[in-house]
Structure 1
Amino acid sequence: MSALAIPGPNPLVPGPRWTSHRFIPCEVMDDQLKHQLGMMAFGMSDLGECLEAARTIAADDEESWVSAWGDRARVLQQRAESAGKHGRRVSAADAYLRAATYWRASLMHFSRPDDPRTRAHAISAYDCYDRYLALSGYPGEPVRIPYEDGFLPSYLYRSPAAGRKAPLLIFFQGRDAWPEDSRWLYDGAIRRGYHCLSVQGPGQGLALRLQGLPFRHDWEQVVTPVVDVAVALEGVDADRIGLMGLSFGGYLAPRAAAFEQRLKVCVADPGVLHWGESIRSGLPASLGDALAEGPEAFNAAAAAVTAGSPLAEWFLRDAAWKHGVSTPYDLFQEFDACDLTGVAGRISCETLVMDGAEERFSAGQARQLYDALDCPKEFLLFDGASTAQLHCQNGGTATAAESTFDWLDGRL
């Protein structure tokens, strides 16, 4: 044995799989950092930049999070602007793309709607992203989808490989991520001849931070206006429209599919049958008991839990903002309204339910949704051998793209 060899497992990866590696000693922050690292494959982030940001992030400290990523974004944006002034379009485009990523990243774990950085960083993210699109020639264009008295900020990615009439995949993210981060999805679509429409719905992205639109459980009211626009798009085959939701979107997409009949396929990644049940499974049992006792008892119990857990405090405050409520009790009423138990049987389009062997945020929910479906369906489990076993295939999006589009090909 070489004197330099390390006997036994690598001490930096203490568990049986790569997923046991921790960059930040907070499960949610660590997952969010891995989300940023996963975008390196598309030039949307860089290893040193991400690890430099992580170096200054303290577990459960929102201020350190927004500052670390904001500082990275600001440096990249300044470099992009300088490159642009000197006519270096490629360098400028590349730097604008990473700056946009880091501006969005700064807001993933920052739940202060009244802080001016919430609005400013969101605007900077899309200013940088739009400049990237303009300079790079990447086939994306901003679209405003009419919604109630405002609009849903969206991007249409037209496939250069598409025929005269091509399928369209509509997708959205969930609670925390931004759809522009999911380049594995829209890039995978356009390379295969699909057009792709990424949507920021209520409770998400700019729709939340600039328009103040909160989540709603009846997501068909969101998707129907999107499909109204989609079927009228030039080059889109109105009979081949698919819908995909990631994370909390694994509830939202099937909910919409139960009512919107113009969808040919639906993908839930991961599937969620009952959002409230999935949330309670990760919280102390005392909260579940207090919920049955009514608002006063539950709000007091929630205050006691959050006093001893910065992560729980962040989650409840973050979720209350995104769902447009002011108390923990009202928040859990919103969570429990996100229940497909009574409507999953109405879904008629062919549906793919995805899951990961190490799904931590909605464990068991995907199988429950799959079992509740009466439509043509398939269950796709990413196990440890796939390296894509985390929530939304975090860290394994190349495998996710192959598997997702292999299923969609021939169906959509």
Structure 2
Amino acid sequence: MTSPNPLFPGAHWTSLRLIGDDVMDDQLKHQISMGHYGMSDLGECLEVARQIVVDDEESWMRAWSDMARRIQDRAEAAEKKGRTVSAGDAYLRAATYWRASLLHFSFPDDPRIKDNALTSYQCYDRYLELADYPGEYLKIPYEDSFLPSYLYRSPLAKGRPAPLLIFFQGRDAWPEDTRWVYDGAIRRGYHCLSVQCPGQGLALRVNNLPFRFDWENVVTPIVDVAVTLDGVDTDRIGLMGLSFGGYLAPRAAAFEKRLKVCIANPGVLQWGASIKSNLPEVLGHALEEGPEAFNAAAEMVAAHSPVAKWFMRDSSWKHGVSTPYELFQQFDACDLTDVAGEIECETLVIDGTEERFSAGEARRLYDALTCPKDFLEFDEESTAQLHCQTGAHATAAEFTFDWLDDRL
């Protein structure tokens, strides 16, 4: 059905493009979606978008940073005058925009990477204190470092043991931006532990921890801490991963048996296959010819595709490798084919009819599971059909927590 509004060339709202790059556009809509929780404001986001040049990471960094500084200055001025509500609200949005500046910026030697990340959490911690939101910072021991985390305790638990939902994001987004998860949890009587894992957030940008395929070695230390937390019912611990986390969470669940439920949003069976399906076919052929041929083909593709160039540089940093061939070896190692049958906890696999980044992978994961399982597909009727339900987080929370309420 053709839309009468020329701004929507397709049949659904998802055809609207605010930036002429699919990845940047999705990331912008992610920021706008947070307005539902007071973490962004529409006018501020659109003013930023007006200044972004397609495929220009510097323009992305500069535009979001300028907005973040402007809002932080207002927060600090309001706090000095004792206007704690205005200050808390502004600190929360400033924190969002500082993180947003890093969402599409992949030059790890740039000092703004670390500076903006730390400033974001300085603002976020000021918000938590001024707004009296029930979140507290935790450091989870991990090898010879730690994973920056926030524990959100539900006031509804009232001192009684309550379920705990552990969650993390994927390749790009930050867990604090995924407020629909931790806010939805505490409003329903769950505690929630959001973790910045290797390859993500501060764990990458400050602690220099890259992704790894054997995610059970990340989640087991998290669960080790979770079972010691006051007020946590250790028989009711759930795990949720979003985006690339749709591979990471079930990978961990195959080995970590203290989990009662697992949610993969969206589910991914083979991360390498999903990545290759979005890249030129020439790379798939070159990969079979060995490292030299593949690196040359990747360089050629990057020269003609700014998105591919950004993706390979960004992913190489996050996976801790130096060549495209090594990167795709890492992608291919993220494969649940041989371990999906080891998952024992009840698992929810989520998908969307307009999932562009890992199309078809959720159904493949669901079919490979032998544990108790459910499949939830968001379509145009729900308006939540995009990757990780971008633009429809209220709907995502409604359906996800309705499923959890019957199990956790």
The interval holding the TM-score normalised by the smaller chain is over 0.9
Cα distance in 2 for partners of 1:208, 1:187 equals 25
Q: Can you list the C-alpha shifts for 1:59-118, whole angstroms capped at 9, x where unaligned?
A: 110000000100000001100010111111001000000000000000000001000100
- The aligned counterpart of 1:180 is 176
Q: Can you list the C-alpha shifts for 1:240-264, whole angstroms capped at 9, x where unaligned?
A: 0000000000000000000000000
Indicate if the aligned counterparts of 2:3 and 2:9 stay in contact, CA closer than 8 A: no
- The aligned counterpart of 2:335 is 339
User: Match for 1:130: what amino acid?
Assistant: D
User: Match for 2:318: what amino acid?
Assistant: K
User: Match for 2:76: what amino acid?
Assistant: E
- The aligned counterpart of 1:405 is 401
Given the alignment of the two structures, is residue 394 of structure 1 paired with residue 390 of structure 2, yes or no? yes
Equivalent of residue 143 in structure 2, options 134, 143, 148: 148
- The aligned counterpart of 2:349 is 353
Give the TM-score normalised by structure 1. Answer: 0.98
Please, which runs of 5 or more residues in structure 2 have no aligned partner?
none
- The aligned counterpart of 2:65 is 70
- The 3-state SS of whatever aligns with 1:379 is strand
Q: Can you list the C-alpha shifts for 1:115-135, whole angstroms capped at 9, x where unaligned?
A: 010010001100000010011
- The aligned counterpart of 1:241 is 237
- The aligned counterpart of 1:131 is 126
User: Match for 1:355: what amino acid?
Assistant: D
Cα distance in 1 for partners of 2:45, 2:172 equals 18
- Which aligned pairs between 1:7-406 and structure 2 lie closer than 5 A? 9-163=4-158, 164-406=160-402
Cα distance in 2 for partners of 1:378, 1:319 equals 31
- The 3-state SS of whatever aligns with 2:381 is helix
User: Match for 1:150: what amino acid?
Assistant: S
Please, which runs of 5 or more residues in structure 1 have no aligned partner?
1-6
Cα distance in 1 for partners of 2:197, 2:8 equals 37
- The 3-state SS of whatever aligns with 2:268 is coil
Cα distance in 2 for partners of 1:365, 1:21 equals 25
Give the TM-score normalised by structure 2. Answer: 0.99
Cα distance in 2 for partners of 1:99, 1:381 equals 34
1:8 offset after TM fit, Å?
6.1
User: Match for 1:139: what amino acid?
Assistant: P
Q: Can you list the C-alpha shifts for 1:335-387, whole angstroms capped at 9, x where unaligned?
A: 00000000000000000000000000000000000000000000000011110
- The 3-state SS of whatever aligns with 1:353 is strand
Cα distance in 2 for partners of 1:92, 1:149 equals 37
- The 3-state SS of whatever aligns with 1:386 is coil
- The 3-state SS of whatever aligns with 1:267 is strand
Cα distance in 1 for partners of 2:364, 2:341 equals 12
Cα distance in 2 for partners of 1:134, 1:110 equals 29
Cα distance in 2 for partners of 1:203, 1:410 equals 32
User: Match for 1:315: what amino acid?
Assistant: F
- The 3-state SS of whatever aligns with 2:247 is helix
Indicate if the aligned counterparts of 2:3 and 2:10 stay in contact, CA closer than 8 A: no
- Alignment CA distance shift 1:83-1:348 (3 Å): same
Cα distance in 2 for partners of 1:371, 1:284 equals 27
- Alignment CA distance shift 1:8-1:143 (3 Å): closer
1:410 offset after TM fit, Å?
2.1
- The 3-state SS of whatever aligns with 1:45 is coil
Indicate if the aligned counterparts of 2:242 and 2:388 stay in contact, CA closer than 8 A: yes
Poorly superposed stretches of 4+, deviation over 4 Å: none
- The 3-state SS of whatever aligns with 1:9 is coil
User: Match for 2:86: what amino acid?
Assistant: S
- The 3-state SS of whatever aligns with 1:384 is coil
Cα distance in 2 for partners of 1:309, 1:383 equals 30
Cα distance in 1 for partners of 2:354, 2:27 equals 15
Cα distance in 2 for partners of 1:34, 1:302 equals 29
Cα distance in 2 for partners of 1:76, 1:146 equals 33
Identity of aligned residues (%): 75
- The 3-state SS of whatever aligns with 1:161 is helix
User: Match for 1:329: what amino acid?
Assistant: Y
User: Match for 1:174: what amino acid?
Assistant: G
1:271 offset after TM fit, Å?
0.1
Cα distance in 2 for partners of 1:68, 1:106 equals 8
Cα distance in 2 for partners of 1:285, 1:16 equals 29
User: Match for 1:9: what amino acid?
Assistant: P
Cα distance in 2 for partners of 1:14, 1:339 equals 37
User: Match for 1:237: what amino acid?
Assistant: D
